[in-house]
Amino acid sequence: MRQDWTLNLASRQAVEVWHGEARRLRGLLDVVSECVAAEYQAPLVWRDEDLSVEQWRDLDEIVAEMERQQLRDDFGKIMKGGGATGVVQGYRNDLPREMTNVLWTAGSDEWSFSAAADFYTKDLAGGHARPFADHSVDWLVRLLSASAAAVSAEEGRIYTGPLIDALIDERMEAAVGALTLAPHGIDPAALPASITAYPCPVGYPDGQILVADLERVTNDPASLVNDLLAIDDALTARR
């Protein structure tokens, strides 16, 4: 069974293009790095094929990268409202493999900012993450809450591959996962027995992180689908 897991965030809150979007992306990278440092005793450094670690620390360089990565049509013309999309990798110290790969989109008309951080779990000695279930609930809750707050996300979740596959089979657009951000909380009556609500430790004064039964996430994700879709319906009704 696949062990990789993903942090996914989306915000409709518009900010200044492109400096505001660059600050938002850099803020997300900083939060993820801080959370990794607390759990793995080493922060992440960020780089990709085009920008060095030093350049990814420079907001003006990130702005320039976003401008270069704007969506273009077949004739090379920038598509208005299409935003920019790119990828950046996070490494622990000088280890040879990236722990996470962040696919980001900024400045789009549909979602002002979105990001998906895939955490790879092949070989911890090479720099990879541990499997999802090997992390504490408290750490996962903080990672999602702090990351969502950094980008003013209305939607946020952490999911595993098998769980998202099971959800997609039933509802392609479901915005829930093993952990799900409820930015304004949720009616306790809508909370299935398999889901536990935790107060957001960062941001979202009335928000909660909804945590599914992690043993079932790992061993029987399909058994959680109906409960998670009920959560999805409840959150959609509050947006």
> What does the pLDDT read at residue 75?
66
Domain that holds residue 205: 157-239
Give domain status of residue 137, yes or no.
Answer: no
Omega of the bond prior to 18 within 30 degrees of 0, cis? yes
| Concatenated DSSP letters of 64-126 | HHHHHTB-B-TTS-B-TT--EEEEEEEEETT-SS-SEEEEEEES-SS-SEEEEEEEP-S-GGG
Residues 124 and 198 grouped into a single domain: no
Which residues 6+ apart lie within 8 Å of 8 measured at CB? 114, 115, 116, 117, 155, 156, 157, 158, 159, 177
pLDDT band at 2 (very low <50, low <70, confident <90, very high): low
The verdict on 169 and 115 lying in the same domain is no
Tally of domains in the chain: 2
Q: Is residue 190 part of a domain?
A: yes
Looking at the domain assignment, is residue 236 inside a domain? Answer: yes
Helix axes 59-68, 19-40, angle to 10 degrees: 120
Whether the CB-CB separation of 97 and 120 falls below 8 Å is answered with yes
Give residue-wise pLDDT tens across range 138-186: 999 999 999 999 999 999 999 999 999 999 999 999 999 999 999 999 9
150 within domain boundaries: no
pLDDT at 72: 84
Give the best-scoring range by mean pLDDT among 27-36, 70-79, 90-99. Answer: 27-36
Are both 118 and 161 inside the same structural domain?
A: no
Band of the pLDDT at 237, cuts 50, 70, 90? confident
**Do 92 and 179 sit in the same domain of this protein?**
no
234 lies in some domain: yes
Any domain includes 139: no
* Reported pTM: 0.95
The yes-or-no verdict on residue 49 having pLDDT over 60 is yes
Structural domain ending residue among the three candidates 78, 113, 130: 130
Place of tokens 């959680």: 224
